[in-house]
Structure 1
């Protein structure tokens, strides 16, 4: 019998799973900076229009002055090598970063169905172990050529695509409705993985070279796999250490909304023609566009435009994710309180918090170019944009659990497969607009596209989305009384177990 509630252990393992997954995913965004030749600081040559912040003496308006500069020609900073350097073009670098997301949608699409049929515990264990192994092979792959490294990234993306559908399947099977906000917040563990990885990768590279930045995460991920296997089960009924009291509480709270392993196929025709599912997918796509933009292009903007050294670029690029990690559980707890006390309906919660998860981040991202070389303002705008996106725990990251908890893994997998295409579009768009140099004029369209994706997706969901459970959630059962297919303004919600109408 567990000394602490098994749900606490599950929360920790969900959190660390996302941490490990993102640790293996995002390290390349920093590592690749040390793997390619340094660029000139001159903006026209592709360097920073703001100069080097490490050697900055003072800033007057938009003019940056450096110690020892004369006749308007600043001194070039000494560039440190972190290991073997590869002559990869900007386009090739974008390909290396982006190909992770070429295969990610494929496995994400089938990951939910695989988890619902075979169980998420085994799938997470296997794909994470594979990811750790191929990450350790990355330095050797780079020596063989950038195409070989692209193959490594393709394998990593294919393995990682299974993770989040599996985790959402676990949440659906383990977590009562009134606690889901907190558990969806656990899936922000990837945020901490980003923060830690970006903060430490630069330091590891400066002290041990960029090869070590692959070996260390690979070793950590491999060790984590065996902890996962020991502590996690596919459902409360299969957990060996859960108390009867906790198991009874979970199963009673879930009721007949969720069934465990099933050999039946999801109702794809009904899913594909569901307007609420389409609205959720659009909302998820807008969220991932902003997320992946800062994930892949953020370090480059901080180093090549704002002019920070590699270690500082990693740390400053991690700040937005630290803010997201801080705000996510706060928003999740607020949503659980509003739902648990029946103050607001599920639909009202989902739509209202789109203001924080999408609209405010979009507006802040659109203001970024106007900050110019005022790096404290630029970093603050990016940080608060991503911090407010922590409210995604109440919007796109939870809505599929509302629509069909029996198929939560499948719904999230399909939406994530579509949304993850933003992961290979954003590096390409960034490379296209910045190919002639790292000027603010070149970066402006990149930020405006991200802002439009955020805000447009939110408006679509506010009009067409819902938090009501869908009738096709129930496998081969008649529609329960009171369940609506679609009520966009949330006048009726999932019938409570007691049969009483929920408070609006």
Structure 2
């Protein structure tokens, strides 16, 4: 591995570590959604085993491609136990509390994570946060056996650590990615998608064979191993990397120019908060995270409790949407780079046009899902396509903060993630409220309607008020006088080459969004 690290370009090693970092943080975040199904027997209020609305009504089991709950017709007197540990009699509200507690502190540390990485370096911020997350995950089985409150506390601190990671990664992208390769580096943020796919695909069989506690220990051990490779392979800037070649270092530094500085000063918070383009990006990001967290936190429960798949199948089925998201994100990224390279659309038009795929179409598909009934193939297809099309987020909310101010990309993403992450504890609570009387399609229908509305409204707001142009407050005050050079560079970054002799100062307003 070390020889390989010294032979290939450092940028490739960095891309791999960015990708796997997102993989690791999502692996530790999403495992609880499926683990709870094994830890808590799904029962009705009268104590009988819960049967999904789509279970066969007679005693003859329909042998479909994937088996139904427990692989046999479930009688009221039989509950399949997951080996290796206790089962907990936690209510739906307590389970929602466990799932949502991850996001109580997550928005706060997301808010400061970008600033911490800009000041002290993203390498150590990610390393310390990931190491702490691994230890907390390993302690989760012990906490669960104490009480659900102890598990809530563990999840709370896990969210505190996890909130630092994504803003710090965006700081790393801003310092390492040449403008021509920005899309490739941002695509590494889809690593969380693959982490979800692998985690949900393997967690079910792992728990059925070794017990639910193994679904905490194995991810924790993998994360500790990953931390070592992160420490060895990653540096804060090209200038600080011990094994980078002079040719590669000069290429990166020349490409970045003076757009990104390792500044120790505070970001221009007043300009950021009063920026309407930034507000539009934040709302778009919130809509994206609402849909993402909805499928992540309650998707396995819908697949298991309503559609009626067994535990191992529920993990695989729940992971399919994320696999589709990873695949289509790659396709959308290539298409977006092709369009921008040939100047078929400006950056702003690209950001707005692809909202149709990243937000509006997924919202429409969620509405259609509630009318699919017990057609499991159709339901799974609609969930998969909804999340798959959301892969276009790599061209919308996941890049827009880099457009607006690459010098403060971590801070912008941290603020947007702080706001957007509140969806992580709202979605389980809303789901628990509407499904408290049972897991029927009628109970779940309002949940999907809410998710679709947030998707679509946030996209429409960005289409009207968003922009892909760099903002004047990206540059420190001492750089304001460099109008000729800066304006030419700004327009080139935005996908519009400057005219000869053009030196007018770029100013953005809330209504100046068409470019």
How many angstroms does 1:429 deviate by?
0.2
5 Å-filtered alignment, 1:76-95, equals 78-82=79-83, 83-95=85-97
Deviations 1:30-55 (A, max 9, x none): 111111123259999864111169x9
CA distance in 1, matches of 2:275, 2:143: 44
Contact 2:346 2:495 in 1 (8 A): no
How many angstroms does 1:67 deviate by?
11
Gaps of 5+ in 2: 503-514
CA distance in 2, matches of 1:200, 1:319: 13
Contact 1:364 1:381 in 2 (8 A): yes
Gaps of 5+ in 1: none
Which residue, out of 121, 146, 158, partners 1:156? Answer: 158
Contact 2:140 2:151 in 1 (8 A): yes
Query: Is 1:414 paired with 2:415?
Result: yes
> Residue in 2 aligned with 1:319?
320
Contact 2:362 2:455 in 1 (8 A): yes
Query: Is 1:399 paired with 2:403?
Result: no
3-state secondary structure, aligned to 2:204: helix
> Residue in 1 aligned with 2:506?
none
> Residue in 1 aligned with 2:134?
132
> Residue in 1 aligned with 2:207?
205
CA distance in 1, matches of 2:470, 2:206: 48
5 Å-filtered alignment, 1:106-145, equals 106-145=108-147
CA distance in 1, matches of 2:72, 2:50: 22
The runs of at least 4 consecutive aligned structure 1 residues that moved more than 6 Å come to: 41-45, 66-69, 73-77, 497-501
Contact 2:362 2:389 in 1 (8 A): yes
Contact 1:109 1:413 in 2 (8 A): yes
CA distance in 1, matches of 2:250, 2:501: 22
Deviations 1:233-291 (A, max 9, x none): 1111111111122112211211111112x221000000000000000000000000000
Query: Is 1:32 paired with 2:32?
Result: no
CA distance in 2, matches of 1:380, 1:43: 33
3-state secondary structure, aligned to 2:208: helix
CA distance in 2, matches of 1:480, 1:322: 46
Contact 1:44 1:437 in 2 (8 A): no
TM-score by length of 1: 0.91
> Residue in 1 aligned with 2:301?
300
CA distance in 1, matches of 2:391, 2:201: 20
CA distance in 2, matches of 1:281, 1:479: 30
Contact 1:198 1:317 in 2 (8 A): yes
Task: Specify whether residues 305 and 366 from structure 1 end up closer, same or farther in structure 2 by C-alpha distance, changes over 3 A only.
Answer: same
3-state secondary structure, aligned to 1:342: coil
Contact 2:118 2:171 in 1 (8 A): yes
CA distance in 2, matches of 1:88, 1:6: 48
5 Å-filtered alignment, 1:243-258, equals 243-258=245-260
Paired positions, count? 489
Contact 1:94 1:428 in 2 (8 A): yes
Deviates more, 1:31-40 or 1:298-307: 31-40
CA distance in 2, matches of 1:87, 1:266: 48
Query: Is 1:50 paired with 2:51?
Result: no
How many angstroms does 1:336 deviate by?
1.8
Task: Specify whether residues 238 and 108 from structure 1 end up closer, same or farther in structure 2 by C-alpha distance, changes over 3 A only.
Answer: same
Task: Specify whether residues 211 and 68 from structure 1 end up closer, same or farther in structure 2 by C-alpha distance, changes over 3 A only.
Answer: closer
3-state secondary structure, aligned to 1:398: helix
CA distance in 2, matches of 1:68, 1:217: 30
CA distance in 1, matches of 2:236, 2:208: 42
CA distance in 2, matches of 1:67, 1:334: 43
Deviates more, 1:335-344 or 1:432-441: 335-344
Contact 1:255 1:497 in 2 (8 A): no
Task: Specify whether residues 404 and 201 from structure 1 end up closer, same or farther in structure 2 by C-alpha distance, changes over 3 A only.
Answer: same
Contact 2:92 2:436 in 1 (8 A): yes
Deviations 1:454-481 (A, max 9, x none): 1101000000000000000001221654
TM-score by length of 2: 0.90
3-state secondary structure, aligned to 1:468: coil
Task: Specify whether residues 178 and 282 from structure 1 end up closer, same or farther in structure 2 by C-alpha distance, changes over 3 A only.
Answer: same
5 Å-filtered alignment, 1:231-246, equals 231-246=233-248
Task: Specify whether residues 37 and 68 from structure 1 end up closer, same or farther in structure 2 by C-alpha distance, changes over 3 A only.
Answer: closer
How many angstroms does 1:342 deviate by?
2.4
CA distance in 2, matches of 1:371, 1:43: 29
> Residue in 2 aligned with 1:15?
19
CA distance in 2, matches of 1:492, 1:245: 23
CA distance in 1, matches of 2:164, 2:472: 26
3-state secondary structure, aligned to 2:454: helix
CA distance in 2, matches of 1:186, 1:52: 43
Deviations 1:156-177 (A, max 9, x none): 0000000000000011111122
Deviations 1:332-368 (A, max 9, x none): 1221222223222111110111011001101001110
Deviations 1:420-474 (A, max 9, x none): 0000000000000000000001000000000011110100000000000000000
